[in-house]
Amino acid sequence: MTQFPENRKKPTLDKDLDKMTRVEEAVNHLGQRFVAPGAALLFLVVTALVASSYAGGTPGAVITLAAAIIGAYMAMNIGAKDVANNVGPAVGSKALPLTAALIIAAICEVFGALITGGNVVETIASGIVDVRTVPDPHVFAWAMLGAILAAALLVNLSNLLKAPISTTHSIVGAVAGAGTAAFGVGAVDWASLMGIALTWVLTPFISAFFAVALLAFINQVIIGRDDKIDAARKWVPVLLGVMAGVMTAYLMRFGLHRVIDVPSGVSLATGLAVGLIAWRLCIPLIRNQSEGLENRNQSLRTLFQWPLIFAAALMSFGHGANDVSNAIGPVVAIVRADYGNLNDVFAPAPQWVMLIGAFGLSCGILLFGPRLIRLVGEQITKLNPMRGFCVSTSTALTVLTASHFGMPVSTTHTAIGAVFGVGFFREWYTAQGRKQQEALRKSLAPADPSTDEPDENASETRRRYLVRRSHFMTIIAAWIITLPASAALAAALYAIIHLLFI
């Protein structure tokens, strides 16, 4: 009788178990893919319930409900789209793990939107279309619904086509286009629109200036010193203290102005006190972190992790303060029109609308941020923490300044300006160092033409040129394509709405 060895049955069993494992893994993977969309849908349902509770029974309840849902959807798109810009450098340099970075970004986005987002919201809601010239608030509400719908469709289309557009340019163009279609060219406040456009031109240059100044300072007091570690022990706590103090003074003076008017002197004194405390607390932290580090530039990356984390949080705060208006500015205008106080431009934006925008940004970050940051992982892993700190800090300061004056600006374009500034400064700084070394070499030894080497490989020069041109074309595309496209789409949607509902 033939005996079958038992081990011949084991491979079959193992294969069956492997198949079961693969099925379970596939189901789990499929479930994970639906978690984020499911949670996003849940947020939209909650938004609809909140909007219904506040707008129920009013004449424009349907418009308000639709606008709130679209605004929440826009907010999630904006949060997910820009999260890599906000915390990408901190994650790429391994200053923060991904989960911690996303949580910090989400919290700071909410605080930025709720504390200092009101001024920019007012500009979108009532500063582009002059509400004093609007004859019919009901028609104005429909026009704003067309505007926010046009911006949402354009953002979605750009995501599908992977086209570089700015949500800020989209919503500004859409509001202007819908307002023109509804009430004519005279309804648009062209002076305000020109002021916004001028801000778009200036902010990349201002951000570049701040970034260059900050990097030049770091080069002077830390990188250029013989004992770099000792210099970092001295100056990194100072940088952290200054950032904490400036942010505290800003929040005291401008963030709380809708609740209490804090005098400038009190704000400055409080900021100074907080800055000194932060500086003192950071001294032992940086000293312990610097123990055992070699005296070289590579070691400075470790010591700049805390400044980079602070800068990432600050940039997320600034992004929330400015970009929340892109999602809910038209919603605020619709709610005011619905309640009959359209001309009361000094009334604060409804808190429930601000909450929808703020938490929409954070939901977009938490739900879709991990995938997007992983997609750009190869681009952010090589970022230098010192340069990332300069870019993030200068971008945050520029965006927060614009937010204080109620100017909607593109955070991405502002960051690109800072990157260009840092890049050009580094090239100039490196070229100066090469010239000094070359002059020293020639003074110590006779010239030997055979040892001369080209400064840079032609292919590398070409690569840099193409990268810079692509970023520059991103900004140009936002101007040439996004503005007129969003305006035309909003006007067309309003025309359809007018035929169907008005």
Residue-level pLDDT at 93:
73
Domain ranges of the chain: 41-227+295-439+463-501
Question: Helix 351-375 crosses helix 98-116 at what angle (to 10 degrees)?
Answer: 150
Per-residue pLDDT of the chain (502 residues; tens, 9 = 90+): 445 455 555 566 555 555 555 555 554 444 456 678 888 999 999 999 999 999 877 888 899 999 999 999 999 989 888 887 788 778 877 788 888 989 999 999 999 999 999 999 999 999 999 988 888 899 999 999 999 999 999 888 877 776 667 889 999 999 999 999 999 999 999 999 999 999 999 999 999 999 999 999 999 999 888 899 999 999 999 999 999 999 999 998 888 777 778 888 999 999 999 999 999 999 999 999 999 888 888 888 889 999 999 999 999 999 999 999 999 999 999 999 888 776 665 678 899 999 999 999 999 999 887 766 655 544 544 568 888 899 999 999 999 999 999 999 998 889 888 888 888 888 888 777 777 777 777 777 655 554 444 455 666 666 666 556 666 776 676 677 888 999 999 999 999 999 998 7
* 126/337 Cα distance (integer angstroms): 11
Question: Helix 9-55 crosses helix 61-92 at what angle (to 10 degrees)?
Answer: 130
Question: Phi and psi of 129, rounded to 5°?
Answer: -95, 120
On whether the CB atoms of residues 321 and 132 are closer than 8 A, the answer is no
* 125/130 Cα distance (integer angstroms): 10
Kindly report whether the global pTM for this prediction surpasses the value 0.75. Answer: yes
**The residue type at 171:** I
Question: Phi and psi of 97, rounded to 5°?
Answer: -70, 160
Question: Helix 61-92 crosses helix 411-444 at what angle (to 10 degrees)?
Answer: 20
Burial class (CB in 10 A: 0-12, 13-18, 19+), 501: exposed
The 3 state secondary structure assigned to 385-440 is HHHHHHHHHHHHHHHHHHHHCCCCCCHHHHHHHHHHHHHHHHHHHHHHHHHHHHHH
Locus of tokens 């032992």: 284
**Alpha carbon of 98 to those of 84, 87, 90, 105, 424: distances in Å?**
11, 9, 9, 10, 30
Residue-level pLDDT at 182:
94
Residue-level pLDDT at 164:
64
Residue-level pLDDT at 377:
45
Residue-level pLDDT at 381:
42
Residue-level pLDDT at 30:
44
